[in-house]
Structure 1
Amino acid sequence: MKKITIATRGSKLALWQSEHIKAVLEEKNPGLAVELKIVITSGDKIIDTPLAKIGGKGLFLKEIEEAMLRGEAQIAVHSLKDVPTVMPAGLVLAAITEREDVRDAMLSEKYTEIDELPKGATVGTSSLRRRMHLARIRPDLIIKDLRGNVDTRIRKLKEGQFDAIILAAAGISRLGLLDAVEHIYPISLMEMIPAMGQGALGIQCVDDPEVIKIAEQLEDEYSRIETTIERDFVDMLEGGCQVPIGVNAFVQDNGDVIVRSLLGLPNGHEVLGETKIVRKEEHANAGREMAQRLIDKGAKELLARAEEQANSIKSTL
């Protein structure tokens, strides 16, 4: 194969991710030409409506997947947390890259951490999961929807529309924005459990053995183990970005995998979760088994109520 095309959104973060993978593939495959094809997605076009109200993060993938299925590109690079657990026919999740920081981060011009935020402070996030966690640890905060690319969100913070905003730490690092605001506070996993796959890139490609072989060069063993547990957990619960689910698995040096989960209502009033340690060699069913234990405790009924609450939140946005 002499040329591969990567389908990508045109945002700074998406372009950084795709350029990064382009450079790695070209280095590993001398003589291979890698080019980018920018795809404008529905999620990019609708910028004045809350994401949860218009269908969630799948709006950023649909047109990219369609471009690959039409033969216009062979590979796409996604933030894995945005990738649904089920692949469309003809596409595969060929590789998962080494993870960056999995944590969420609070950005603020005035306050150094969540505990420092004054009563009634306004915090911006488009994530129902982050809303749930914030409501649990600081029920006095005012949580408002926040849309736009990373630069737009930071601009809104600097303009004073929010006292703080919550973003993924990995995206801030990848874009070199660690000095973009006065304070960046990485939120501990004890305070806020990340979304499935957060911090990793998912390499989606057409179901072609030659393309898959090239994409598999980007695979990281530990990231695959961790995110398989996380994605199985969400898949078993039949949950997507329309309901608040946090799950994180971490492979320790001794081969133990710590798995943490939390799900519940967006207002944080009712939650279910678990922390468990499994051996790396026994990870294959860990996500589904944890999900089943929570299902036995009423997780699916709780998530159904969470979706109803989310819909009521949408109607007020």
Structure 2
Amino acid sequence: MNNTPNSDIRIRLGTRNSPLAMAQAIETRQRLCAAHGWAEDEVELVPVLASGDKVLDRPLAEIGGKALWTKELDQWLGDGLIDVAVHSAKDVETIRPPEFCFAAFLPRADRRDALVGAASIADIPQGAVVGTSAPRRASQLLNLRPDCRVVMFRGNVATRLAKLEAGEADVTFLAAAGLERLGQSEVGSPLAVDEWIPAAAQGVIAIECRADDEATKAALAAIDDHGTRCELEAERALLAQLGGTCHSPVAVLCQPGGEGLAMRAALFSPDGSERVEGEVLFDPLDHAPVRALAADLLARATPGIRPHFGGA
């Protein structure tokens, strides 16, 4: 918590300065204020320009991976310039510095991808150019539609929509949750999760603080969503066991099923020609079945898939 003398600020939320990241920080502030009866101006938003927002002409995997979304916030959090870092959970590396902890996950929003430029995967025109920089989206698309051609597309929502409008691609993908948070739910066609598997952690706002900051952890506990935490911890356990990186084409769906959680995961070769998948039911408090699913997927992984995962 902020201990600045004579300050009316109770807590400082660090965030990337993109429109979507700011919307996520504003939602976090609203939830904190509602939970604790704070005035809005008692929670300060501290924007930072992330390295991942500076370089947009190359795939993320080529310039440092997911750490480019977090390194500035990590630095500010470690230096005590902010009390909290607000992240899109899917943009956070699987292995995090031990001095930080996830103190809260906000309730999961829509986990689906939205297809922009066509009503469905089947409706994408033959031989269409598809813009995406995500290995999961590219490989899953090519698995279903090998006739399409993928081109690199990076930038925030507005940038990618502008590129689409300019004819740089025929279709693209955006996270339905991001569109919803920006007030643009009418954009695109959400893809059913039984046909198109989303990314691990998609639709979740993750809130990190210093592991030794007990006051901030206690404040954030009031807005932590237990069900979302159970899903996220299981999804991150799968990624850790797979040894996945930002290069790894992996799709994961985890949601309530049976008396616990159900997980479905698929691994792809980058060109989409090879695919292995599996599913498991498990108790949210026991990740052994999740790790076993990861081991099974790796054991069945084909030569085109296996080099992209480092798990044992």
| TM-score, L = length of structure 2 | 0.90
Among 77, 102, 113, the alignment partner of 1:93 is 102
Give the Å deviation of 1:283: 4.0
Q: Return the match for 2:125 from 113, 118, 125.
A: 118
1:179 and 1:117, CA in 2 relative to 1: closer, same or farther beyond 3 A? Answer: same
Which residue in the other structure is 2:5 paired with? none
SS at match of 1:194: coil
Alignment of 1:136-215 (within 5 A): 136-180=143-187, 184-207=188-211, 208-215=213-220
Q: Which shows bigger deviation, 133-142 or 237-246?
A: 237-246
Tell me which of 245, 263, 280 is aligned to 2:267. 263
Corresponding residue for 1:48?
57
**One of 291, 295, 301 as aligned partner of 2:294:** 291
Q: Name structure 2 gaps, 5 residues minimum.
A: 2-8
- How far 1:298 moved relative to its partner? 4.1
CA distance in 2, matches of 1:155, 1:298: 38
Equivalent residue of 2:244, what SS?
Answer: coil
Deviation at 1:229, TM superposition (A): 1.3
Q: 1:268 to 1:217 in 2, by over 3 A?
A: same
Higher alpha-carbon deviation: 70-79 or 212-221: 212-221
Asked whether the 8 Å contact 1:229–1:286 carries over to 2, the reply is: no
Spell out the pairing of 1:210-229 with structure 2 (5 A cutoff): 210-229=215-234
User: Corresponding residue for 1:313?
Assistant: none
Q: Secondary structure at the match of 2:66?
A: helix
Amino acid at match of 2:250: I
Alpha-carbon distance in structure 2 between the residues aligned to 1:287 and 1:65: 29
After superposition, give the CA deviation of every residue in 1:236-284 in whole Å (9 maximum; x if it has no partner): 11112221111121014x534221000121111122210222345x543
Displacement after TM superposition at 1:31 (Å): 4.1
Partners of 2:246 and 2:151 lie apart in 1 by: 17
What is aligned with 2:19? 12
Query: Kindly, what percent of the aligned residue pairs are identical?
Result: 35
Structure with greater proportional helix content: 1
Instruction: Give the letter for the 1:295 counterpart.
Output: L
Tell me if structure 1 keeps the 8 A contact 2:135–2:248.
yes
Choose the corresponding residue for 1:250, options 249, 255, 268: 255
Q: 1:52 deviation in Å?
A: 2.3
Shift of 1:132: 1.0
CA distance in 1 between partners of 2:247 and 2:66 (Å): 9
Task: Tell me which amino acid in the other structure corresponds to 2:189.
Answer: Y
Contact 2:104–2:225 (CA<8 Å) still a contact in 1? yes
What residue identity is the alignment partner of 1:223?
T
Q: Distance in 2 between matches of 1:286 and 1:236?
A: 11
Q: For residues 109-168 of structure 1, what are the alpha-carbon distances to aligned partners after superposition, in whole Å with 9 as ceiling and x for unaligned? A: xx3211111111111111001111101100001111101110010111122221111111
Secondary structure at 1:115's aligned position in 2?
A: coil
The alpha-carbon distance between structure 1 residues 236 and 306, as it changes in their structure 2 partners (threshold 3 A), is closer
Unaligned runs of 5+ in 1: 308-317
In 1, the alpha carbon distance for the partners of 2:165 and 2:233 equals: 37
Partner of 2:142: 135
2:260 & 2:235 partners in 1: Cα distance? 15
The TM-score normalised by the length of structure 1 is: 0.89
Once residues 39 and 84 of structure 1 are traced to their aligned partners in structure 2, the CA distance between those partners, rounded to angstroms, is 18
CA RMSD of aligned residues (A): 1.9
Q: Which moved more, 1:36-45 or 1:47-56?
A: 47-56
Aligned-partner SS, 1:178:
coil
Q: Does 1:38 align with 2:47?
A: yes
Deviation at 1:302, TM superposition (A): 5.2
Task: Measure, in 2, the Cα distance between the counterparts of 1:241 and 1:56.
Answer: 6
Q: Deviations over 1:91-115 (max 9, x none)?
A: 111111111111111011xx32111
Instruction: Provide the rounded CA distance (Å) in 1 between the counterparts of 2:250 and 2:198.
Output: 8
Distance of 1:199 and 1:227 partners within structure 2: 10
Deviation per CA, 1:62-87: give whole Å up to 9, x if none: 11111000100010111111112222
